[in-house]
């Protein structure tokens, strides 16, 4: 008999251990099983298998309980290979999340332990049988058609021989069988060859290929030709028969990267991002697993794909917040990429014009190998004009589009060029206040101000997505005096632009216009083909876009992000301003940027306008040092949430006391805005020794049942504290 040690699917932290079940048949570690647990059937993940000669009775005596049999074995082969199983355990240690949640994060929806859509799509195929049967001439022709291929989709056979297909099976000349549906290869696009590389690009490629290090930071101004460097490194890895992973931060960036990659390498390309449905994801996953895909372009979760032999990992815009998963396990894609590069003995290239502070600091200390591209390929950076909105409004200009920006837009459109406008707020108005008591309208489930959306004529919560009609009376004071509308988002901007430029064709790109399947791709393709003159949108249009006809970028409310309390708010704002400016003037024509700000002298605004990363880095590092924020320290954020406020407070206080230590600072208990009817609070650990902080936290959580029952989220090295 076999004893199976299984992790079972359960959200509770206390169940982060294996349970023992028995099986008469041998089972492989790494497959999923259905097992009984507290009178229910749950999914289990087989971690280890031991053989035993003991009888069931003596086993029960030995364990002190009945060792139950597994109900069903779900997979023929292990889902995770040795590398990925090891990675799951590494993630579990690093992020302090449950093992089963790490497994779940690594698998596509179709085969995830908790997968709702766990049904794999199968197709009918046919192959030759060994039987000798007499066939009509036409049937023989169909039979030979199959013989040439060895086996084929029944559907294909029917298309060619509609009258013979079924007869051949009925006569047992062909056998039908089921096979998992596989992704159709992407159609071959027009092949492109790259430009002749500059001396700087060639030097960068040589330095990376000949270097002995694993991790490289390719630091180069926007438009300095980093992507060309990635493509050349990829080409060389492919020549050695290896697979290549190219990570991009957001799905809005995938279409462009895909176009460039598939133009260069053809059809052996898999694509993996959250915009795919579960079946599509599963098919791409299988393409990587069975080696049909040589290159993968994807977002965060693509870092878990089952590569056979990786030759290169590229992580473009490595500073981007979307590389960090916020839910458990709160892993950072960069850590996983580096782990896998070490495992496969390949190189991991982090690329950016504005690397995260911790990455650049590491590069300066030679933890990562720094490679720099100093020049833009077209040798000129865009010319940035800062407009003080306080001044502009004092002179009676529009609070949305200043005279300076309007004038530039006019010029650009007259020259037949394109404009990008960035406003990092969606909706129409961003706030409604009661005309009587002045209270802003907030979400009923979250402690968050609601935005007014004009297309739906509703108030929308950007935290939980709930929407409400505008109330007749103020929920705070009961007055019927109406509401004042203030603040503007992309919908309002769109209206303003259309009024000012009635002849221009305008596209809006934000979360509201891109919810449909492939909407990103459609909008960008249309803009790229000059199907519109002005593209306006939220941060999703700030990065990566490379359109030669864009010669003006307008940034509205550019310094709004500085008002956030987060320790990274300056870094994030600087990054957004630099990236957005970098969309302008990427080919022969010189680019212009108009940056509208309320605090035009802030160092993040000034250095971004000069496209001066070094100066920003030095200034920001001084602040971080003074406040002892990362990268000078490490943080672990512990968030408690509960529907019952007193219970949460009690547990939080208890946890705070248990964590108070001499070795690191324990900050708390910090109340957080309510979200989705959950009261929330945070405890923050801050110190220089991350391993020690992690160990203390692990021990404290494991030793008290109160903590294992409570919904506690742990984020090691949080990217944001909002």
Which residues make up the interface to ligand ADP (CB under 6 A)?
A: 195-198, 201, 220, 222-228, 377, 546, 586
**CB-CB neighbours of 447 under 10 Å:** 14
Among ligand ADP, Zn ion, none, partner that 409 touches (CB below 5 to 8 angstroms by kind): none
Q: Please answer whether residues 6 and 22 qualify as being in contact, where contact means their C-beta atoms are separated by less than 8 angstroms.
A: no
Least Å distance, CB 376 to ligand ADP, is 8
Helix axis angle, 333-344 to 82-95, nearest 10°: 140
Cα–Cα distance measured from residue 305 to residue 286, given in angstroms and rounded to the nearest whole number = 9
* 543 three-state secondary structure: coil
Distance CA 3, CA 7 (A): 13
Longest dimension (CA), the chain: 94
Q: How far is the CB of 328 from ligand ADP (least distance, A)?
A: 33
**Within 10 A of 93 (CB to CB), how many other CB atoms are there?**
13
464 binds, among Zn ion, ligand ADP, none (CB under 5 to 8 A by kind): Zn ion
CB of 377 to ligand ADP, least distance (A): 4
Cβ atoms of 267 and 258 within 8 Å: the answer is no
Q: In what helix (H) or strand (E) does residue 269 lie, and over which residues does it extend?
A: strand 269-272
Q: Which of 1/203 has CB closer to ligand ADP?
A: 203
Contact positions vs Zn ion (CB under 5 A): 443, 445-446, 461, 463-464, 466
Closest CA to 675 of 384, 345, 358, 327: 327
| Strand, coil or helix: 413 | helix
Least distance (Å) between residue 263 CB and ligand ADP: 11
Shortest reach from residue 311's CB to ligand ADP, in Å:
20
Q: Which of 143, 265, 134 is nearest to 192 (CA)?
A: 265
**Of 113 and 582, CB closest to ligand ADP:** 582
Residue 198 binding: pick among Zn ion, ligand ADP, none (C-beta 5-8 Å cut-off by kind): ligand ADP
Q: Which does 586 bind (CB under 5 to 8 A by kind): Zn ion, ligand ADP, none?
A: ligand ADP
Binding at 199: pick from ligand ADP, Zn ion, none (beta carbon under 5-8 Å per type): none
Structure tokens at 34: 């259905």
Tokens of 97: 């999340």
Query: Phi first, then psi: what are they for 190, rounded to 5°?
Result: -65, 130
- State the nearest-atom distance from the C-beta of 351 to ligand ADP, in Å: 7
H-helix or E-strand spanning residue 603: helix 603-609
195 contacts which partner out of Zn ion, ligand ADP, none, CB within 5 to 8 A by kind?
ligand ADP
Pairing state between β 18-23 and 383-388:
unpaired
Nearer to Zn ion (CB atom), residue 49 or residue 464? 464
Would you say 195 or 475 has its CB closer to ligand ADP?
Answer: 195
Which tokens hold the place of 694?
């992690």
Residue 353 CB, shortest distance to ligand ADP, in Å, is 7
To the nearest whole angstrom, how small is the minimum distance from the Cβ of residue 250 to ligand ADP?
15
Q: Which is nearer to ligand ADP, 201 or 491 (CB)?
A: 201
**Minimum distance from residue 361 beta carbon to ligand ADP (Å):** 22
3-class secondary structure, 510: coil
Q: What does 446 interact with, of ligand ADP, Zn ion, none (CB < 5 to 8 A by kind)?
A: Zn ion
Unique residue bearing structure tokens 């089921």: 178
Residue 525, number of CB atoms within 10 A of its CB? 14
SS (H, E, C) 658-701: HHCCCCCEEEEEEEEEEECCEEEEEEEEEECCHHHHHHHHHHHH
The answer to whether residues 245 and 313 touch, using CB atoms and an 8 Å cutoff, is yes
Partner that binds at residue 118, options Zn ion, ligand ADP, none, CB closer than 5 to 8 Å by kind: none
Which does residue 369 touch among ligand ADP, Zn ion, none (CB within 5 to 8 A, set by kind)?
A: none
Q: Which does 696 bind (CB under 5 to 8 A by kind): Zn ion, ligand ADP, none?
A: none
Residue closer to Zn ion (CB basis): 115 or 440:
440
Residues 6+ away with beta carbon under 8 Å from 252:
509, 514, 520, 524, 540, 541, 543, 544
Least CB distance to ligand ADP at residue 574 (A) = 17
Whether omega before 232 lies within 30 degrees of 0, making that bond cis, reads: no
What are the distances in angstroms from CA 63 to CA 184, 673, 700? 51, 47, 28
Residue with smaller CB distance to ligand ADP, 196 or 626: 196
CB 217 within 8 A of CB 204: no
What, of ligand ADP, Zn ion, none, does residue 197 touch, CB below 5 to 8 Å by kind? ligand ADP
Least distance in angstroms from the C-beta of 449 to Zn ion: 10
Compute the least distance from the CB of residue 461 to Zn ion, in Å. Answer: 3
Please say which residue, 292 or 676, places its beta carbon nearer to Zn ion: 676
Peptide bond connecting 669 to the previous residue in cis, omega within 30 degrees of 0: yes
CB-nearer residue toward Zn ion: 36 or 671: 671
Residue found under tokens 């004038």: 407
The residue (of 83 and 546) whose beta carbon lies closer to ligand ADP is 546
| Residue 223 near which of Zn ion, ligand ADP, none (CB within 5-8 Å, type-dependent) | ligand ADP
Choose the contact partner of 463 out of ligand ADP, Zn ion, none; CB within 5 to 8 A by kind.
Zn ion
Min dist CB 680 to Zn ion, Å, is 13
Q: Which is nearer to Zn ion, 338 or 459 (CB)?
A: 459
Listed in sequence order, the residues at least 6 apart from 495 whose beta carbon sits closer than 8 Å to its beta carbon are: 428, 454
Element at 167 (helix H, strand E) = helix 165-170
Nearer to Zn ion, 380 or 466 (CB): 466
Q: Which is nearer to Zn ion, 241 or 465 (CB)?
A: 465
* Least spacing, CB of residue 221 vs ligand ADP, in Å: 7
Q: Which does 443 bind (CB under 5 to 8 A by kind): ligand ADP, Zn ion, none?
A: Zn ion
User: Among residues 86 and 195, whose Cβ is nearest to ligand ADP?
Assistant: 195
């Amino acid at each position: 008999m076999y004893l199976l040690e299984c992790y079972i699917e359960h959200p509770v932290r206390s169940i982060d251990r294996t349970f023992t079940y028995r099986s008469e048949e041998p089972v492989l570690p790494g497959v999923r099983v259905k097992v009984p647990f507290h009178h229910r059937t749950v999914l289990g993940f087989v971690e280890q298998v031991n053989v035993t000669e003991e009888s069931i009775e003596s086993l029960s005596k030995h364990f002190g309980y009945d060792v139950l049999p597994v109900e069903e074995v779900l997979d023929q082969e292990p889902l995770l290979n040795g590398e990925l199983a090891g990675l799951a355990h590494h993630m579990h240690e690093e992020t302090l999340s449950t093992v089963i949640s790490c497994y779940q994060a690594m698998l596509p929806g179709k085969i995830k332990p908790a997968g709702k859509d766990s049904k794999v799509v199968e197709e009918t195929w046919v192959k030759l049988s060994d039987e000798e049967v007499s066939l009509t001439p036409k049937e023989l022709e169909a039979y030979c058609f199959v013989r040439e291929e060895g086996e084929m989709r029944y559907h294909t056979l029917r298309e060619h021989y509609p009258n013979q297909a079924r007869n051949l099976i009925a006569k047992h000349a062909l056998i039908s069988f089921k096979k998992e549906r596989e992704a159709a290869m992407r159609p071959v696009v027009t092949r492109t060859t790259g430009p002749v590389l500059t001396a700087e690009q060639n030097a960068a490629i040589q330095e990376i290929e000949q270097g002995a290090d694993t991790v490289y930071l390719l630091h180069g101004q926007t438009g300095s030709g980093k992507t060309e460097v990635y493509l050349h490194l990829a080409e060389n890895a492919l020549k050695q028969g290896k697979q290549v992973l190219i990570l991009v931060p957001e799905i809005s960036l995938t279409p462009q990267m895909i176009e460039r990659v598939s133009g260069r390498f053809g059809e052996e390309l898999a694509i993996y991002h959250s915009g795919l449905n579960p079946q599509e994801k599963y098919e791409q996953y299988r393409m990587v697993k069975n080696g049909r895909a040589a290159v993968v372009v994807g977002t965060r979760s693509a870092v878990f794909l089952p590569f056979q032999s990786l030759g290169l990992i590229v992580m473009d815009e490595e500073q981007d917040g979307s590389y960090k998963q916020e839910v458990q396990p709160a892993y950072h894609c960069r850590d996983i990429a580096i782990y896998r590069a070490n495992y496969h003995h390949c190189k991991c290239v982090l690329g950016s014009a504005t690397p995260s502070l911790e990455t650049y600091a590491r590069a300066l200390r030679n933890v990562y190998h720094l490679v720099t591209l100093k020049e833009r390929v077209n040798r000129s950076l865009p010319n940035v004009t800062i407009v003080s909105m306080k001044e502009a409004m004092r002179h009676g200009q529009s609070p949305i589009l200043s005279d300076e920006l309007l004038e530039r837009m006019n010029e650009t459109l007259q020259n037949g060029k394109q404009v990008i406008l960035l406003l990092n707020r969606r909706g129409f108005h961003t706030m409604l206040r009661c005309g009587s008591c002045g209270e802003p309208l907030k979400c009923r489930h979250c402690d968050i101000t609601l935005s007014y959306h004009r297309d739906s004529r509703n108030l929308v919560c950007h935290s939980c997505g709930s929407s409400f009609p505008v109330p007749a009376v103020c929920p705070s004071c009961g007055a019927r005096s109406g509401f004042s509308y203030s603040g503007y988002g992309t919908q309002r901007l769109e209206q303003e632009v259309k009024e000012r430029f009635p002849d221009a064709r305008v596209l809006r790109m934000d979360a509201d216009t891109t919810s449909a399947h492939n909407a990103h791709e459609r909008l960008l393709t249309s803009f790229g083909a000059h199907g519109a003159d002005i593209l306006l949108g939220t941060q999703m249009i700030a990065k990566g876009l490379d359109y030669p006809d864009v010669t003006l970028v307008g940034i509205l409310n550019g310094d709004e992000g500085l008002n956030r309390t987060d320790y990274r708010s300056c870094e994030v704002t600087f990054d957004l301003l630099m990236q957005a400016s970098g969309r302008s003037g990427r080919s022969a024509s010189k680019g212009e940027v108009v940056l509208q700000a309320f605090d035009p002298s802030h160092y993040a605004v000034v250095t971004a306008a000069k496209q001066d990363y070094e100066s920003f880095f030095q200034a920001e590092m001084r602040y971080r040092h003074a406040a002892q924020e990362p990268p000078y320290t490490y943080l672990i954020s512990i968030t408690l949430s509960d529907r019952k406020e007193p219970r949460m407070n009690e547990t939080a206080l208890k946890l705070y006391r248990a964590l108070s230590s001499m070795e690191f600072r324990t900050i708390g208990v910090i109340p957080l805005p309510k979200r989705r009817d959950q009261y929330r609070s945070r405890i923050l650990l801050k110190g220089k020794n991350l391993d020690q902080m992690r160990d203390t936290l692990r021990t404290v959580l494991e030793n008290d049942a109160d903590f294992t029952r409570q919904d506690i989220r742990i984020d090691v090295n949080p990217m944001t504290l909002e």
